[in-house]
Structure 1
Amino acid sequence: MKLCEIGVTGQKIDVFNGGDVPPDGRLLSVAELQQAYRGLLQNLRARPAGSASAEPVPIAPVGGGAVATINLEETAIGSAEASADIDADWITIMAAHAGAGASTVALAVADAAAAAGAVHLVETAHPARSGLVAASRSELGMDSSGAWRRGLRGNVTIDRRAGDRTPDGWPADRAAAVATVVDLGLPSVDNLARLVTSAARCVVVCRANVPGVRLVEQTLDALEEVPVAVAVLGAKRWPGEVTASLGPRLRRLRAAGHVVTVPLDRRIEVTGPTHSPLPKAVFMAGRSLLGLIDAARSGEVTTTVHAPGTKGTTR
């Protein structure tokens, strides 16, 4: 078969030699893809408001074939069980958008806190999306619940989800720690309310680009009065387009010194976080964030994001 022939509507493809086609062995036309998409939207609109059903939702038949399904499982905040509360003393790290670098920031904060003693770092992402899969120096197996896979990195104990099933709670058999850092990844908007209720200290992570600062502004709006700092991955000097795109909340946090730049590292960009020590510049950014977090807890500095028109104090 010639390459120029691939893509003809209704054409049969040999799936054993690299073809990527639906079960009936033919390519989908644009009209059929649009039909499937419209069917998905109809099913989404038909769901009751606030529905959190994890059952697969049927999509309209494609080209007369069998009904396809897509899993719309709604994960609780950080993919942990909805009944598992977040402790107010924990440090939560969340991404404002996909690919922000929350796992790297969470590891930097945990490593910085480990200078004072044992630290517990929990990553709540699905195993297929783990950013800390290679961050442990040694693997310790499962916790007693069997839902979390445990590793060790110096003074930092790392727990990651072990399977597809959503855990029923936080990792078991946790030893006493001077700090607990939770990498929430990219939580849904609905679940940000749980973080607000918990009053846990929070670091929001974004990239130093126009989409990044615009999306972090939306996250800050949802977090309301949560003590917060912002970690921005990129160069210390932001391009003019990025500075011009800052929203009022991020602008106030930056003016108050609550925005920390985390420099991009070429090695981490290629390998992701590994068991090796973090580059010094990244580690120092984690220590700066930890300083802001500790100051917020002790009341030395107010990191609350105040709504426009309200008064806030910063010491």
Structure 2
Amino acid sequence: MTAHSVAELREAWRAIEAGEFAHGPRSAPTAPGTATVWTPAPRERVVAVVGCAGGVGASTVALALATATGASARVVECCSPLASGFSATANAELGTEGPWRRGSRGDVLLERPITGEAILPVPTESSVEWTLVDTNWTTVSGAGGWLASVVRTLDDVVLVSNATVPGVRRLESCAELLGRDALGVVVGPTVKRWPRPVKVAAAGIPARVHLTDFPLDPRLRVTGLTPDPLPAPLLKAAQNVLALLRKEPT
């Protein structure tokens, strides 16, 4: 079970009273009067990591990618506070800045929203080279408000799902909604070990989506993300994903 701070629980209750709460992960709504245009900092490469369904491992993939860059990186989690996968992940808590709670894991900065109206923050350090935006399928469905408009401006989109027939079908649906090139990361066994029904379902994914596999760690399935280092197989898989991203034009 993921632990949440008292402040996060208070904010969640405030969201319920304000009618902003929804069951399960969701993207932050657009705040009234808030601009929907966001520009990354100079030399900042932004990658959207989109969970095609709940609990498929998108947050783990985003964190692994940020860690595997070997550079100054951050993961920006875009969901309601109670849906956070990062509440017990940082090695050090760095306090709050505006509507964002900040923590760190070595060279990786973690930013997660305190409220449901937080707009993607500009890096506090100009040296941030990579930003991984951890979000969900609503941002490619057109229902993600300002965040959906941001995702559609990015060159790099990673669609994450799991190696099941429903999971692969959700990835196909997200790919169709996105309507352009993307990288599909399927969490589970290697492609060669996919059950035949999964391979058949995967045949329906558009050719513009390059599929790759990503291992499922049994320990993290139980504990969730913790301050402990990520297992080596996950980081190796993340390096493979980054290599595929680096082949794409920026």
TM range (shorter): 0.7 to 0.9
* Aligned residues between the structures: 219
Q: Which of 100, 115, 118 is matched with 2:56 structurally?
A: 100
Corresponding position of 1:220 = 175
Q: Relative to structure 1, is the Cα distance of residues 132 and 186 closer, same or farther in structure 2, using a 3 angstrom cutoff? A: farther
**Max Rg structure:** 1
Deviation at 1:85, TM superposition (A): 3.5
Contact 1:260 1:285 in 2 (8 A): no
Aligned to 2:229: 277
Deviation at 1:70, TM superposition (A): 10
Answer yes or no: is 1:152 the counterpart of 2:104: yes
Alpha-carbon contact 1:94-1:184 (below 8 Å) kept: yes
Cα deviation, residue 246, structure 1: 2.0
SS of equivalent residue, structure 2 residue 95: strand
Alpha carbons of structure 1 residues 87 and 240: separation in structure 2 relative to 1, 3 Å: farther
Structure-2 separation of matches of 1:171 and 1:72: 21
**Following the alignment from structure 1 to structure 2, what is the Cα–Cα distance between the partners of residues 194 and 97?**
20
Q: CA deviation at 1:249?
A: 3.0
Question: What is the rounded CA distance, in whole Å, between the counterparts of 1:151 and 1:70 in structure 2?
Answer: 27
Pair 1:243-2:165 in alignment: no
Contact 2:171 2:205 in 1 (8 A): no
- With normalisation by structure 2, the TM-score equals 0.78
> Which of these residues, 113, 120, 126, is aligned with residue 170 of structure 1?
120
- Any gaps of 5 or more consecutive residues in structure 1? 1-54, 57-68, 299-315
2:47 maps to what in 1? 91
Unpaired runs of at least 5, structure 2: 1-14
Match of 1:128 in 2: 82
Whichever residue aligns with residue 155 of structure 2, its letter is A
Q: How does 1:296-315 map to 2 (within 5 A)?
A: 296-297=248-249
In the TM superposition, structure 1's runs of 4+ consecutive aligned residues that sit over 6 Å from their partners are: none
- Residue number among 101, 108, 112 corresponding to 2:68 in the alignment: 112
Secondary structure in 2 aligned to 1:293? helix
Taking a change above 3 Å as real, the CA distance of residues 140 and 296 of structure 1, as seen in their structure-2 partners, is same
| Distance apart, 1:199 and its partner CA | 3.2
Q: In structure 2, what residue type is equivalent to 1:199? A: L
Greater per-residue strand proportion = 2
The amino acid across from 1:259 in the alignment is: L
| Structure 2 counterpart of 1:10 | none
Residue type of the partner of 1:223? L
Q: Partner amino acid for 2:48?
A: T
| Deviation, structure 1 residue 272 | 1.0
Contact 1:208–1:233 (8 Å) recurs in 2:
yes
* Coordinate RMSD, CA, aligned: 2.7
- Secondary structure of 2:59's match? helix
